[in-house]
Amino acid sequence: MTAPRPPRRTRCLTVGSSDSSGGAGIQGDLKAFASVGAYGATVLVGVTAQSPAGVIASAPVDLDLVAAQLDTVLADIGADGVKVGTTWSAALMHLVADRLAGIPAPLVVDPVLVTAAGSGLSGGQDAVDALCERLLPMAAVTTPNFAEARRLTGLTDETDPAVLAGALVRRGARAVVITDVPGGGDWLFDGRRHRAVPGPRHATGCEHGAGCAHSALLTAFLARGVPLPRAAELAHRAVAAGVANGAVDIGRDRHPVDLLTATAADTATDTETDTDTDTATATGAAAAVGAATATATETGAATATDTDAAAAVGAAVVGGDRGRPA
Ligand SMILES: Nc1ncnc2c1ncn2[C@@H]1O[C@H](COP(=O)(O)OP(=O)(O)OP(=O)(O)O)[C@@H](O)[C@H]1O
Ligand SMILES: Cc1ncc(COP(=O)(O)O)c(N)n1
């Protein structure tokens, strides 16, 4: 008699760049994947010297080496969800689009043109054009911040996220989440319906890596078959909680988001200070999902927090293979 196979964990691949400070880029993505119990693989397309205060130096990885990483990881490990972060150059966009074409996994494209500290990380207009022409039409969703949405659309003075999201869909995106819109929260347009993803802003200075964490979580949730509106809500809540409970002891003036060390005590404090039970719930959800996956049990662990978000994410974890889109 053969032993039953354990449920396979969700495999997420991030195509992005190294952040020497560890809070954003591929390092941040790996932590975000880990926070919900997903396995993370990486294709490194560039290296940066940076701290939460900004990027000091950067260089892309040779395209042949990028291609070899993609081929090797996809052939052996595979991916249930893929995230593409830092854009760098048109040549890189074309290579990544060619290699990812037709893979049966949702793709999330996070166009990192402007980091949380305001540093530029992309090539010129040809990289933006390649991104729009090649990657956005392949992506289940793209996640620019407000400034990036303006740059991608050329609507540099636009203040209405619905107008920017509509323009991005006309530029080729299938769905858009514009992050951190004026007034707080995100804006989702799935090509048919606009909706706000509301949430309070936290003034902790812990936003370094927030965008990376958000798109990585979105990737993990979509990989597990969570519908986009719910995935966008859960990703925002978890990252907002990671900003509220960020690593204030790391970095001089600006600090990294922290999705991994929020505890029940942290979330209780969060609830008291912000009366934001949703935010607290999201952190509980991430912890519950991690526990559920680590112990390979069914929803029992996830019900530890017994909340709506935990149940939704927990169910997505244990139902990972069953819930994944074809
Ligand atoms: N101060 C804050 N308080 C609460 N939530 C925040 C805060 N700052 C960002 N967020 C949330 O974090 C997520 C990432 O948003 P943000 O716009 O900061 O990403 P970014 O780092 O600028 O993006 P990108 O990776 O595309 O460059 C969003 O869900 C956003 O609403
Ligand atoms: C290598 C790398 N990739 C992406 C970001 C974006 O960071 P944020 O999520 O803070 O916008 C970054 N700062 N560094």
Q: CB count, 10 Å around CB of 225?
A: 19
Global confidence as pTM: 0.85
- Ligand 1 — pocket residues by CB below 6 A? 110, 112, 114-116, 143-145, 148, 179-180, 185-186, 199, 201-202, 207, 210-212, 214, 236, 239-240, 243
ipTM: 0.98
Q: Ligand 2 centroid vs 209 CA: distance in angstroms?
A: 5
Residue of higher predicted confidence among 88 and 258: 258
Q: Ligand 2 centroid vs 24 CA: distance in angstroms?
A: 5
Question: Average model confidence (pLDDT) for the chain?
Answer: 83
pLDDT > 60? residue 153? yes
Nearest ligand, measured from the Cα of 21: 2
pLDDT at residue 123, as a whole number:
67
pLDDT tens digits for range 78-111: 999 999 998 789 999 999 999 999 999 999 999 9
Nearest protein Cα to ligand 2, atom 2? 25
Determine what percent of the chain is predicted with pLDDT higher than 70: 77
pLDDT at residue 148, as a whole number:
92
Counting from 1 in the atom list of ligand 1, the atom nearest the Cα of 215 is 25
pLDDT tens digits for range 268-278: 333 333 333 33
pLDDT band at 115 (very low <50, low <70, confident <90, very high): low
Mean pLDDT lowest for which of 74-78, 119-123, 288-292?
288-292
pLDDT tens digits for range 23-59: 999 999 999 999 999 999 999 999 999 999 999 999 9
